[in-house]
Chains A and B, each alone.
Chain A
Amino acid sequence: MSETLWPYLLLVLVGFLPNEIWRLLGLIMARGLDEGSELVLLSRAVATAILAGVIAKLIMTPSGELAGMPLSLRITAAVCGFAAFLLARRSLFVGVAAGEAVLLAGGLLLGR
């Protein structure tokens, strides 16, 4: 296997296929379902809970440079972002900006 082609083969075999299979399964299962049906409601709840799990893990046990920032700072930034989001009548932009500002300010103050 050539050095340059190997990552591309990996991309298809261990990236594209194991990911795409779930979408295709959804395509097959969704046939004949109504958007207000109970199964769709349950699917939405499961999808939301999985996503929420991913979000929480990205904050609690992140990778890369974010892992170098203290857990308390990451949680504080997320809570501040959420509070700003609610105060600004559910503005995504305000919430994200506030969370990022707290994280950056904390990171710079801690001298990293």
Chain B
Amino acid sequence: MTAPRSFSSTAEAFFGGVTSAWTSVFFLVLCGTYIGIGALAHGFGLSSWWLALSTVLVWAGPAQVIMVSAIGSGAAPIEIAVAVGLSGIRLFPMVVALLPLLRQEGRRLRDLILPTHFTSVSMWVESLRLLPQVPREWRLPFCNGLSFGYMSAATVSGFVGFYLAVGLPPVFAGALLFLTPISFLLSTARGARELVDKLALVFGLVLGPVLAAYQVQLDLMWSGIVGGALAYGVHRLREAAA
């Protein structure tokens, strides 16, 4: 854990965020993930510019993987919209948990639109870990810089993967796809500070595949609501007992 950081200007805080992004282990992970998605887009016959635009507009790995494979295989648009919409539900509680960290006296709603759009797993995990160490006045530019750092790395990596795709042997392509779950698993475990976070992680890991195996409709939404509520319930019971 590093010492609290302070900045003297908005630009300095922004570049502090960019530097944090480019020197974190997430940088490597994000590059690997988007190289994988780039390869996937190539395989499904989408253009590299289409992928770049989807990275900037959608900015969510799982949603992009769903889109690339579904559009590429010619699924019905409504089917794709529902799948993407379901995968995006997790962004809602993330935004709700993130924005209070950025709030400050005199902060306008429109200042929060950019960090709202930037909210995605890697940025969220790192923001929740780093922002409490940043003085409140510099949190917004720091967070935007962090997000910009990640998004630019992801966009470039998409192109790299797209043009690398031709020669990658299957084992290495598989290892590239494994980067996303293993890194998200470990980063979430590292970010889980309190018991409620740790329990939510364990419950979600168990419920996700179990609900999917029983072909429960909207399985991810239910694993979140049930797993999250259970974790929160245990936390409340312990508080009440203490």
Taking Cβ atoms with an 8 Å cutoff, the residues of A that contact B are 7-8, 10-27, 29-31, 33-35, 37, 39-66, 68-69, 74, 77-78, 81-82, 85, 90, 92-93, 95-96, 99-100, 103-104, 107-108, 112
Contact = CB atoms under 8 A, between A and B. Distances in A.
Given A40-B96, A45-B228, A50-B227, 20 more contacts: A11-B53, A15-B67, A22-B92, A31-B109, A43-B93, A44-B197, A45-B229, A47-B94, A48-B231, A49-B224, A52-B205, A52-B227, A53-B208, A54-B220, A64-B173, A64-B177, A92-B186, A96-B183, A100-B175, A112-B174
Contacts of B220: 50, 53-54, 57
Contact of B186 (A17, A37, A68, A95): A95
Nearest to B43: A64
B126 to A, nearest CB: 11
Contact of A93 (B25, B121, B180): B25
B93 to A, nearest CB: 4
Interface of B: 25-26, 28-29, 40, 43, 46-47, 50, 53-54, 57-58, 60, 62-65, 67, 69, 71, 77-78, 80-82, 84-85, 87-101, 103, 109, 112-113, 116-117, 119, 121, 124, 128, 170-190, 192, 196-197, 199-209, 211-212, 219-221, 223-229, 231-232, 235
Nearest to B190: A90
A16 B98 CA distance: 21
Contacts of B113: 27
Contact of B204 (A13, A26, A56, A64): A56
Contacts of A100: 175, 178-179, 182
A10 to B, nearest CB: 6
A34 B64 CA distance: 32
5 contacts: A18-B84, A45-B227, A50-B221, A51-B188, A54-B90
B100 A30 contact: yes
B95 A27 contact: yes
B54 A15 contact: yes
B179 A64 contact: no
